[in-house]
A = this chain, B = another copy of it.
């Protein structure tokens, strides 16, 4: 797939712009990650483990917005390359906490530089206030969709209408 170019002058919908922005940044990430033999989900996994040190497969899947099955495949690929480790047996329950290995941390460091550069480039021209407002607005949009569609004080899905 080539570049993400808008077809027309009607791209003023938040939903469409979100999709376009996501597709664009994903393409950019894919481009810089490919030379390191990393897919976007794989990088997301490394980044999450970098920030949280220890996360189970299910936690990684939720945080990366993929299924447990997909994340499990990602995790295995990273394990086979010696970038992450998982104990053979769970310390508690069934969840085995994955963590970065030395080479995993090294590769993540290299990849994060490239990815952070994309992030930096993306917000170029936005003031601190603009960026702060963007983050706040996005968080609000997410919260609005996650929360039940009930604007007024209510604790339950009383009516399906809500339109």
Contacts and interface: CB of A to CB of B under 8 A. Distances in A.
Contacts of A51: 8, 10
Interface residues of A, number: 69
B138 A17 contact: yes
A1 B141 contact: no
A1 B123 contact: no
Contacts of A21: 18, 22, 138, 141-142, 145
Interface in A33-85: 48, 51-52, 55-56, 58-59, 61-63, 65-67
B52 A7 contact: yes
Nearest to A10: B51
A134 interface: yes
A111 interface: no
Given A4-B62, A14-B134, A17-B142, 4 more contacts: A1-B67, A5-B62, A25-B141, A126-B137
